[in-house]
């Protein structure tokens, strides 16, 4: 099924997806059957968002927070990227690589600008759970049924590719400490026989399709109890904990310094409120309107995730709020281990500490499926938290690990963030298709990561950069990398 066909039948597909993937799935990426037709628009990012550990946990957490928010607005650029999360900043980074490698053959410097509505990287990327974990075989069987074997394999490959590429950058530039990159893996505990059977089926389908699962490990309930303190059978996958905002800040710096032939500017606190065809006689195609004035662009990339519908109502991306707390453990990292863990719909990991005997801050999120909170869907309001969900998150760890977490302990920070869910849980990547009223020549989208963007957005952004690069060098020819799932493409 092509992705456009699939999306036309989105509500039906969502039901099918629920049937083939099951409902008891770990982490934020659970499948929800959205009434997407009932939801017509999305707001701009709201003012005064809650403060996350990643954006405000230390005084120097977000040095680019207000970058380019004052003074003159850039008046024109070759490429305008809307959104400064991992998607938008990664597009800027990959474009810089193309220019540096002279694969974009231009005689004058390529100019790119990132326009961000609030502070730098203050959307989902600056407010998430901090797990950079490829789904090595999780969901494999569902993807196999929906998209066929080649696509199911590519859905694994993109995540492994991203994890490996980001790991290589971390090693090459010595960022590990700076961005808290701790590749300690993640353990998914199967708390029901159904979930165990489902993960096992995913695993066996992946093995049958030739996916290399040698880095994954199965644990008996006794082994999980011994290592992590809860008696459930579990699967352990490679993955990393990370400070997402700091990682993305480094991507920005690399892009900014990449080449004299690449001129990158960032304007934070500059929401794009609408777009129009550029003025007559302009060499550019589009004009983006902001409260600070307008900016003319040859190419536009929408990296706006949960907020995409505000400018592009034709995309089925539903904003969904997630909540996180940062709470001090009552045990050392030695006792907790530095592994990320998933149990039921909660996911958590301890922050790195300088002394392993110290009690770490633990970042834990999720839980809305267990609390049953419909108010988390169809909302872009991350300026508030939900007390019901907050109580659930506070109670969860002490109830499962009473010897490691103190009941009644208040979190040091608590925040919300907005995810963008699509009917298939997969993002939209590529040129925006024309509608009856608008010809979207030169506009691209990379959005809709459905609560699981860290191991996918960097790869999707590379594909967008290749597409835009091919326009800039006049060849118009781009190749989709072997590891990229074709069903993510808007052109499929």
Does the CA dihedral 15-484-128-330 come out positive or negative? positive
Rule CB under 6 A: is residue 307 a binding residue for ligand FAD? Answer: yes
44 contacts ligand FAD (rule: CB under 6 A): yes
**255 lies in the binding site for ligand FAD (CB under 6 A):** no
Indicate which single residue of 32, 97, 263, 304 sits in contact with ligand FAD (rule: CB under 6 A).
304
| Contact status: 64 vs ligand FAD (CB under 6 A) | no
Provide the token pair at 37: 């037709």
Q: How far is CA 420 from CA 266, 306, 320, 363, 473, in A?
A: 23, 4, 6, 21, 32
Q: Which is nearer to ligand FAD, 350 or 453 (CB)?
A: 453
- Smallest gap from residue 402 Cβ to ligand FAD (A): 25
Q: How far is the CB of 357 from ligand FAD (least distance, A)?
A: 27
User: Residue 383 contacts by C-beta under 8 Å, 6 or more apart in sequence?
Assistant: 46, 47, 48, 49, 50
* Shortest distance, position 443 Cβ to ligand FAD, whole Å: 13
The residue (of 347 and 405) whose beta carbon lies closer to ligand FAD is: 347
Q: Which of 350, 290, 362 is nearest to 325 (CA)?
A: 362
DSSP 8-state symbol, 102 = T
Q: How far is the CB of 147 from ligand FAD (least distance, A)?
A: 20
Interface with ligand FAD in residues 337-366 (CB under 6 A)? 365
CA distance 470 to 58: 41
User: Of 303, 327, 343, 445, which one interacts with ligand FAD (CB under 6 A)?
Assistant: 303
Whole-number minimum distance, CB 323 to ligand FAD, in Å? 6
Q: Are 432 and 135 in contact (CB under 8 A)?
A: no
Report the SS3 class of residue 310. Answer: helix
For ligand FAD, the closer of residues 118 and 487 by Cβ is 118
130 belongs to the binding site for ligand FAD (CB under 6 A):
yes
- 209, 144 in Cβ contact below 8 A? yes
Residue of 247, 287, 454, 472 interacting with ligand FAD (CB under 6 A): 454
**Per rule CB under 6 A, is residue 419 in the interface with ligand FAD?**
yes
Say how far apart CA 61 and CA 121 lie, in whole Å: 11
Helix ranges (H only) for 323-479 are: 333-336, 368-371, 387-400, 457-472
CA angle, corner 179, sides to 85 and 321, nearest 5? Answer: 40
How is residue 481 annotated by DSSP?
-
In whole angstroms, how close is the CB of 488 to ligand FAD at the nearest point? 13
Binding mask 462-491 for ligand FAD (x = CB under 6 A): ------------------------------
Under the criterion CB under 6 A, does residue 457 sit at the interface with ligand FAD?
Answer: yes
Would you count residue 128 as binding ligand FAD (CB under 6 A)?
yes
Tokens linked to 285? 């195609």
* Residue that the structure tokens 């298709």 belong to: 433
Q: Which spans in 270-350 are helix H?
A: 308-311, 333-336
Among 124, 325, 341, 397, binds ligand FAD (CB under 6 A): 124
Q: Which stretch binds ligand FAD (CB under 6 A): 76-84, 218-226, 250-258, 352-360?
A: 76-84
Q: Does the protein bind ligand FAD through residue 318 (CB under 6 A)?
A: no
Stretch that binds ligand FAD, among 182-190, 249-257, 436-444, 453-461 (CB under 6 A): 453-461
> 261: buried, middle or exposed (CB in 10 Å: 19+, 13-18, 0-12)?
middle
Does 187 contact ligand FAD by CB under 6 A? no
Characterise 298 by phi-psi region: left (phi > 0), alpha (psi -120 to 50), beta (else): alpha
Place of tokens 């980074």: 93
Q: Does residue 91 belong to the site contacting ligand FAD (CB under 6 A)?
A: no
What lies within 8 Å, CB to CB, of 220 at 6+ separation is 233
**CB of 153 or CB of 288, closer to ligand FAD:** 288
CB of 315 to ligand FAD, least distance (A): 12
Select the span of 99-107, 110-118, 330-338, 367-375 touching ligand FAD (CB under 6 A). 110-118
Q: Which is nearer to ligand FAD, 82 or 190 (CB)?
A: 82
Binding site for ligand FAD (CB under 6 A): 28, 44-45, 82-88, 115-118, 122-125, 127-131, 271-272, 303-307, 310-311, 322, 324, 365, 417-419, 447, 449, 451-455, 457
């Amino acid at each position: 099924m092509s992705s456009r066909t699939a999306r036309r039948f989105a509500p039906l597909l969502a039901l099918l997806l629920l049937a083939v993937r099951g409902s008891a799935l770990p982490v934020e990426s659970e499948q929800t059957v959205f009434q997407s037709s009932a939801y017509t628009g999305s707001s701009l990012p709201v003012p005064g968002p809650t403060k996350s550990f990643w954006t405000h946990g230390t005084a120097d957490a977000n040095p680019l927070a207000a970058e380019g928010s004052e003074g003159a607005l850039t008046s024109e650029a070759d490429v305008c990227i809307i959104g400064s999360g991992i998607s938008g900043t990664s597009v800027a980074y990959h474009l810089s690589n193309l220019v540096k490698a002279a694969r974009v053959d231009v005689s004058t410097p390529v100019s790119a600008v990132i326009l961000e509505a609030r502070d730098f990287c203050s959307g989902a990327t600056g407010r998430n759970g901090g797990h950079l974990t490829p789904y090595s075989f999780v969901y494999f069987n569902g993807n196999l049924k929906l998209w066929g074997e080649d696509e199911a394999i590519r859905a694994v490959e993109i995540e492994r590719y991203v994890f490996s590429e980001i790991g290589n950058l971390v090693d090459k530039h010595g960022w590990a400490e700076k961005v808290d990159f701790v590749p300690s893996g993640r353990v998914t505990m199967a708390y029901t026989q159904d979930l165990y059977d489902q993960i096992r089926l995913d695993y066996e389908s992946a093995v049958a399709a030739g996916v290399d699962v040698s880095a994954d490990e199965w644990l008996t309930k006794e082994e999980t109890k011994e290592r992590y303190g809860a008696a459930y059978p579990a699967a352990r996958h490679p993955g990393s904990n990370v400070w997402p905002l700091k990682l993305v800040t480094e991507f920005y710096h690399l892009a900014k310094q990449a080449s004299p032939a690449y001129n990158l500017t960032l304007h934070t606190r500059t929401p794009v409120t609408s777009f129009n065809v550029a003025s007559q006689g302009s060499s550019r195609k589009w004009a983006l309107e902001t409260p600070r004035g307008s900016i003319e662009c040859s190419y536009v990339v929408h990296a706006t995730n949960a907020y995409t519908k505000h400018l592009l109502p034709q995309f089925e991306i539903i904003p969904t709020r997630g909540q996180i707390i940062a709470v001090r453990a009552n045990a050392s990292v030695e006792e907790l281990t530095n592994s990320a863990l998933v149990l039921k719909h909660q996911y958590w990991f301890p922050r790195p500490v300088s002394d392993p005997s110290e009690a770490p801050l633990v970042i834990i999120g999720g839980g809305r499926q267990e609390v049953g909170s419909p108010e988390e869907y169809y909302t872009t309001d991350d300026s508030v938290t939900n007390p019901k969900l907050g109580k659930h998150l506070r109670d969860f760890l002490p109830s499962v690990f009473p010897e490691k977490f103190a009941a009644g302990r208040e979190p040091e920070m608590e925040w919300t963030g907005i995810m963008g869910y699509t009917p298939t849980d997969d993002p939209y990547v590529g040129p925006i298709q024309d509608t009856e009223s608008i010809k979207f020549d030169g506009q691209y989208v990379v959005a809709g990561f459905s609560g699981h963007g860290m191991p996918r957005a960097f790869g999707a952004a590379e594909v967008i950069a290749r597409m835009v690069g091919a326009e800039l060098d006049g060849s118009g020819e781009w190749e989709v990398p072997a590891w990229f799932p074709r069903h993510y493409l808007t052109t499929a």
